[in-house]
Amino acid sequence: MAVALLLFRLPGGERQSPRAKWRAAVQLDDGRRGEPNNMTSGLARLGRKMLAGTAVLACLVLLLPSVSAQATQGAKVSKEVEEKVRAAGADDLLSVIVQTGSDPSQGHLARLRGRGGVVKTQHTSIHGYTARVPASQIEALAEDPEVEQVSYDSPVKAHMDVAYKAIRADAVYVASGGLLDGRGVGVALVDTGVQLHPDLVRPKGTPQVVEVEIVGHETGLADYYGHGTHVAGIINGNGYSSSDKLSYRTFKGIAPGALVISIRALSPDGTGYTSDIIAGIDWAVRNRSTYRIRVLNLSLGHPIYESYATDPLCRAVRAAYDAGIVVVVAAGNDGGVGSGFGTIDSPANEPSAVTVGAMDDSRTVTTTDDVLAWYSSRGPSLVDYVVKPDLVAPGTAIVSLRATGSYIDTTYHQFTLKLGDYKTDPKLALNDGVYYTLSGTSMAAPMVSGTAALMIQMDPTLNPATVKARLMKGAVKDDRLPFETGAGFLDVYGALAAGGFAKSALSPLAMLASDGNVYFQDTAVLWGDATWSLGSIWGRGKGNADGIIMSDVSASILQTYGAIWNNRGGPKSLLDNNQVTASGAIWTGTRSILPSTTGMVDNLGAVWGPRKN
């Protein structure tokens, strides 16, 4: 599949360890924006009455097709490949991702060559490979006993000063005495590459940005598109270019002490192929020990064409999660398509991923005036009905690093900040600065990735599930639908203060029941501890903004479906989206019919401003 960057742009004394200093600070001030903190007791009171047990959960899985059931239903060839075969000539070569039960044998590869197939890449995070195969040979290839699934190598595309304070990253920095900055943690970034920028340069003798080329083989750092550099700055920029005595605004990343590993897997136009993204994930998993990679940022995606159980990109993400890497993924920028519901991208639909939607912080520090960005994709995911996004973060009009001379910089130069926008220097005020403004869920995701790096620095024993669960539990709660804002608004301070351990943190599945209500699987059961009840993760007031009242599950529903949460405000009529699925309804299990996400730069999606009705 082709992957696309999910991107929009809008105008416009004694030295203590970081963990010890942070814990001491939390004891003195664990409140949110000056409010009294009753975090533990308060969240405990949010728990709702519900029965939980493996027997009833299994009943739910039977009614909502399980991962294994979905993986084995139907033919081995995805619908998208079938359509490509019908449209192609017999000898046309199609790029496909072939998943096998184990590593493909030499006999299998010989049979592939005998059918005219040519291997492009053999993958390690999933069993299988990417190859170009004659259209007339796809069916025969799928019948090979070693083949589990044949998917299309779809195209993909790539999806700060006020935001830094809005998510309380500044409070964490102060509370830790500047020691909690992500140092010792590697954050891998699969994107368009990273340009050498003053805010990414570190003193001699300290780790510098590492560049790995999946596409392109130039010496040194490079970013011809300009997306990856901006994303890297949100994670790792140190604010050097806006911290002198003339600067009145400082643009700093969330984890300036972390090591960024730039895996360039997208082309100079911001697009690429699923196989290249998987190759990038393969590299991160293989080299995780060498570079201490604990976080992987994917500000990219493509529409959902199949279940996450068979989607090769989702399976690669799950492999990284299983290897101990927190995978943070942008939700997508298709919130303006139809009703906006059911527009989550792949691999954002992967349950193990931390899926991030975007908020518009109105360029103010307070969260009281924040609104869901109109472009931010909403759940549930198509085919499997995964409850996404998991949380939201600032994504609109985010100032970060400018990749000078890149496609974005030259084509949309009006988004480049002038020196006068952040420095008091009348003589040079109209000169170009070294930052520009972009918007999209691509910008929201790295804020969460940076936060994950801080959490892991403070406690290196955390597993990916616990990082995700604490991010969600520590988020600022709101009254929007779970399919819009997930567990709430990113709060760096709250995530670091949250406690609890999760064995698993797979996002729950949703179900439209015969009574017209939407039900969720119980996270307390899925995640292995009552600490992670739906009430504690999503809060008491979800849906109130739409006149929806959350209530306990009725006895009749529990008897039929098991340990799930009742959302009385989720009737099917609310979630129809006839511009996304062929049938016009999310709940029919159909895939996306969109050829690509609407945020693609090559269709001017990147320069959309405020929504036009």
Which residues have a catalytic role annotated?
A: 191, 227, 442
Residue with token string 């919130």: 335
CB 265 within 8 A of CB 300: no
Q: Which residue has the tokens 């003053």?
A: 198
Residue 352 burial (C-beta neighbours within 10 Å; 0-12, 13-18, 19+): buried
Rg (CA), the chain: 23
The beta strands (E) that lie in 479-613 are given as 510-512, 518-521, 550-551, 564-567
DSSP character at residue 167: T
Partners of 418 in the β-ladder: 432
* Burial zone of 204 (CB within 10 Å; 0-12 exposed, 13-18 middle, 19+ buried): exposed
CB neighbourhood size of 103 (10 A) = 13
Q: Residue 251, class by beta-carbon neighbours within 10 Å (0-12 exposed, 13-18 middle, 19+ buried)?
A: buried
DSSP-derived 3-state class of residue 489: strand
CA–CA dist 421, 436 (Å, integer): 11
Q: Which residues of 282-295 are buried (b: 16+ CB within 10 A; e: fewer)?
A: bbbbebbeebbbbb
Of the candidates 166, 139, 128, 161, the residue with the CA atom closest to the CA atom of residue 84: 139
Secondary-structure breakdown of the chain: helix, strand, coil percentages, each rounded to the nearest 5: 35, 20, 50
Residue with tokens 């011809």: 224
231, containing H or E segment: helix 227-236
72: Cβ contacts below 8 Å, ≥ 6 apart: none
Token duo for residue 322 = 């299983």
